A and B are shown apart, each in its own frame.
Chain A
Amino acid sequence: MDTLLALFNGFSVALEPSKLLFCLIGVFLGTAVGVLPGIGPALTVALLLPVTFKLDPAGSLIMFAGIYYGGMYGGSTTAILLNAPGESASLATALEGSKMAKAGRGGPALATAAVGSFVAGLIATLGLAFLAPWLVELAVKFGPWDYFGLMILAFVTVSATFGDSPLRGLTSLFLGITLGLVGIDKLTGQARLTFGVPELLNGIEVTTLAVGLFAVGEALYVASKRHREPEEIIPIKGSLWMTKQDWKRSWAPWLRGTAYGFPIGALPAGGAEVPTFLSYATERKLCKYPDEFGKGAIEGVAGPEAANNASAAGTLVPLLTLGLPTSATAAIMLAGFQQYGLNPGPLLFAEKPDLVWGLIASLFIANVMLVILNLPLIGLWVKLLAVPQPWLYAGILVFATMGTLAVNPSPVELGMLFGFGFLGYLMRRYDYPVAPMVVGLILGPMAEAQLRRALQISLGDPMILLENPGSATLLGLALLGLVAPFVMKGLNRFKASED
């Protein structure tokens, strides 16, 4: 009951007209900067943080929340419209979203992303308000072995993105894992596969690979076959807004995405990528129109976008209750708190309840603002696709290089972007799926680091993976995931023979 009261209190602070205006400005600025490819929400917030410096704490926090959500939503807009994911968490969104956009369904894709983010944000905020203390107890119990189990489970689900050839899918995945080895080894500080190039020491940037393979590779591929089968981009086909059918197909993925995103986001090393992959794989399995996957299925946008947003709210659980910044964005949030001399942590709820609940209420309001601001904008965004094809693709390439340069202005990074672009072209030409490669780059290093941490704690005893109930369960599920498709096939045959 205290929680509810505090939350209402928070709302009363955040609902003042001036605060609402700050929130709207924040959402607008965040969206405007977040749509630039390569600039994810963390960087958006970092760049715009100084804007909030001169406001009073409450006003600044609410503007901050607006920028944050605006940045997240801006990121998915680029992923959907330009196929250039600005951060690893919107990778899964780009897979189906960009296909939908080209088929004239960009409107519904953007709408399901916005409404899905809203629904996920709403539920996750409630989760934050009521479950945080309990969830955090569980979260700190999650050891390296458990993370390793979770990563393996995520690896198994990647096969959902393999397309029709396991050989080509696995090849793509392994190349991604190989790229993940490049750079300084996290645990010993040794350089691997860097060949004396200092720019490689930090490893391969996920966004560079993703934008290269997706956006640049796609541009090359489309151009190469234009003389034969010109690609047709339809800006709008059917309704700009979600149809009844779209709603029906979206609500369950929203909820499932939230169910993945919130708890995994609350884990200190959970991140946003794993839940988006899990959500994508689940929707693909459960979808009533499996043929549409790979051609633009709305479930594939609705689920991962909800998961992404819920996991962002999830990272607030350890941040607010323990003062643990567990993601780049959370670290920036921490900076946001610290400008008022607030130190998030176990004492924050007790010492400054008005600010904490003000922030939570702000997040909530920012979410509403986002929907209000962006739904009308969808029509405008989709018009981008009506730009003549040569200009559209030329523009995509300019934006892709700009995003890369803004984060790391080095010719080596650009060379990698274009190298990956050409690789993406070749892979498309010979029908290799590109998504597993990016997934391998993201998950490979995470899985390796967690396994090695686990073994360092157990002094080399691998049994630690099976002795812990958490990791044993997750590894068991992963095994089940590997075996289940075969069992399902058998069952289907059984059913078919019964009919």
Chain B
Amino acid sequence: MLTSILRRGAFATLALAGLTTAAFAQMELKIMAPAAPGGGWDGTARSMQQALTASGIAKSVQVTNVPGAGGTIGLAQLVNSSKGDGSTLMVNGFVMVGAILLNKSPVDLTQTTPIARLTAEALVVVVPAESPIKTAKDLADRVKADPAKVIWAGGSAGGADHILAALFAGTVGADASKINYIPFSGGGEALAAMLGGRVTAGVSGYGEFEGQIKAGKLRVIGVTSPKRLTNAPDAPTFKEQGVDLELLNWRSVVAPPGISAEQRKALADAMDKMVKSKEWAEILKARGWDDAYLASAEFETFLKAEKARVEGVMKTVGLIK
């Protein structure tokens, strides 16, 4: 046991360098997490590091952190200083699409080379168990009657939760610019506001509310996935309730601009191998992430569509002009 800790711990990287038996793996990668160590994107980057080296796909993977401004500082660095570098990847996700617009970032995701979408999480809209609101239609009626009286709680302004609240209002025919959305820092505070009955509805990733939903303290109004979730077969989707609403909080990797077609293919292939490895499967299970792999080309199309949608919503809500 002790040897195993020592190997994993203090000497992990040193030992790995010597012990790597996978001689065929020549790839040396740098993965940038455009966030501080410890956050979600950092977790993705470090999990990739683990999966790529443990499965022998890459010889070495180095994680760097470039935090700040919803990831747009890291993005600027990728676009400006790593141009043409075929060994660098950056983790990003849905939230960055909004952050780019909100922060008036001079660079945007279309300037990068999309490599793969990796994971995604469905969002969920919930109400406190004692709320008279039972279905998506009840909530829609409330929002249409008086958007000010429906208080939404969720994550940061312009983030996925906020976009969903606005999309919901817009989809059911209410005035999305009038929604009363309160951003909380971190899911914990928003959840406390829900349990304390101070807000009408809460928005978050399904995992964050799962415990409360199962304990019967929160009621699901709808999930944003196209089909019901496998781990929550009782939670209805918005789609099946006649509200045409789909939104996934996805995470992906992109490469710098200006890389060659071969370099792009090499990176895409490495991702393809990684998502199929058992190491990655184990990490997904341990972290509770859902696989949402999209290969390079499909991801590029998807990214463009998401950008157009987010931009539209943010204009309606008045987050940007």
A346 touching B217 in the complex, CB below 8 Å, given contacts A42-B38, A198-B72: yes
Q: Are B187 and A325 in contact (CB under 8 A)?
A: yes
Q: Are B183 and A187 in contact (CB under 8 A)?
A: yes
Report the bound CA distance from A21 to B185 in whole Å. 37
In the complex, which residues of chain A have a beta carbon less than 8 angstroms from the beta carbon of B189?
268-269, 324, 326
Report the bound CA distance from A201 to B76 in whole Å. 14
Taking a contact as CB atoms closer than 8 A, the residue among A142, A144, A345 that contacts B211 in the complex is: A345
A198 touching B38 in the complex, CB below 8 Å, given contacts A53-B8, A347-B211: no
Report the bound CA distance from A139 to B50 in whole Å. 38
The size bracket of the interface on B is 35 or more
Which chain B residues numbered 134 to 181 have a C-beta less than 8 Å away from chain A? 148, 151, 156-158, 180
In the complex, which residues of chain B have a beta carbon less than 8 angstroms from the beta carbon of A344?
211
Q: Does B73 contact A (CB under 8 A)?
A: yes
Q: Are B1 and A55 in contact (CB under 8 A)?
A: yes
Min Cβ gap B311→A in Å is 14
On chain A, the number of residues with a Cβ less than 8 Å from chain B's Cβ atoms is: 66
Q: Does A164 contact B (CB under 8 A)?
A: no
Report the bound CA distance from A201 to B73 in whole Å. 10
Q: Does A384 contact B (CB under 8 A)?
A: no
Min Cβ gap A10→B in Å is 21
Q: Are A50 and B50 in contact (CB under 8 A)?
A: yes
Which chain B residues numbered 252 to 299 have a C-beta less than 8 Å away from chain A? 285-288
Stretch from A168-176, A241-249, A406-414 that touches the partner: A406-414
Report the bound CA distance from A25 to B6 in whole Å. 10
Q: Are A47 and B37 in contact (CB under 8 A)?
A: yes
Which chain B residues numbered 1 to 35 have a C-beta less than 8 Å away from chain A? 1-2, 4-5, 8-10, 12
Q: Are A202 and B67 in contact (CB under 8 A)?
A: yes
Report the bound CA distance from A192 to B250 in whole Å. 29
Q: Nearest CB to that of B287 among chain A residues?
A: A338
Q: Are B199 and A457 in contact (CB under 8 A)?
A: yes
Which chain A residues numbered 56 to 115 have a C-beta less than 8 Å away from chain B? 59, 63
Q: Are A338 and B192 in contact (CB under 8 A)?
A: no
In the complex, which residues of chain A have a beta carbon less than 8 angstroms from the beta carbon of B2?
21
Q: Does B59 contact A (CB under 8 A)?
A: no
In the complex, which residues of chain A have a beta carbon less than 8 angstroms from the beta carbon of B8?
50-51, 53-54
Q: Does B227 contact A (CB under 8 A)?
A: no
A325 touching B1 in the complex, CB below 8 Å, given contacts A201-B68, A347-B211: no
- The contact string, 1 if C-beta is below 8 Å from chain A, for chain B 37-68, is 11000110010001000000000000011111
- The contact string, 1 if C-beta is below 8 Å from chain B, for chain A 3-44, is 000000000000000100110010001000000000000110
Min Cβ gap A324→B in Å is 4
Taking a contact as CB atoms closer than 8 A, the residue among A198, A410, A459 that contacts B105 in the complex is: A198
A325 touching B188 in the complex, CB below 8 Å, given contacts A21-B2, A338-B287: yes
Q: Does B110 contact A (CB under 8 A)?
A: no
Q: Does B312 contact A (CB under 8 A)?
A: no
In the complex, which residues of chain A have a beta carbon less than 8 angstroms from the beta carbon of B285?
341
In the complex, which residues of chain A have a beta carbon less than 8 angstroms from the beta carbon of B69?
184, 198-199, 201-202
Q: Does A163 contact B (CB under 8 A)?
A: no
Q: Are B192 and A268 in contact (CB under 8 A)?
A: yes
Q: Does A189 contact B (CB under 8 A)?
A: yes
Q: Are B38 and A332 in contact (CB under 8 A)?
A: yes
Report the bound CA distance from A328 to B186 in whole Å. 9
In the complex, which residues of chain B have a beta carbon less than 8 angstroms from the beta carbon of A237?
none
In the complex, which residues of chain B have a beta carbon less than 8 angstroms from the beta carbon of A392?
none
Which chain A residues numbered 123 to 151 have a C-beta less than 8 Å away from chain B? 139-144
Q: Are A188 and B157 in contact (CB under 8 A)?
A: yes
A189 touching B76 in the complex, CB below 8 Å, given contacts A43-B37, A143-B196: no
* 10 tightest A-B CB contacts, nearest first: A345-B211, A189-B157, A46-B38, A201-B69, A346-B215, A268-B192, A324-B188, A323-B211, A51-B9, A326-B188
Beyond contacts A140-B195, A198-B69, A408-B65: 13 other A-B pairs, Cβ-Cβ < 8 A, are: A25-B9, A50-B8, A144-B193, A186-B185, A318-B188, A318-B192, A322-B212, A330-B188, A338-B286, A341-B288, A346-B212, A408-B36, A410-B66
26 contacts between A and B (CB under 8 A): A25-B9, A29-B9, A43-B36, A63-B5, A140-B192, A144-B198, A187-B183, A188-B157, A198-B69, A198-B76, A201-B69, A202-B67, A202-B68, A269-B189, A322-B191, A322-B212, A323-B212, A326-B192, A328-B38, A332-B38, A407-B36, A407-B37, A409-B64, A409-B65, A456-B182, A459-B148
Interface residues of A (CB under 8 A from B): 18, 21-22, 25, 29, 42-43, 46-48, 50-51, 53-55, 59, 63, 139-144, 184-189, 191, 198-199, 201-202, 268-269, 318, 322-326, 328, 330-332, 335, 338-341, 343-348, 407-410, 449, 453, 456-457, 459
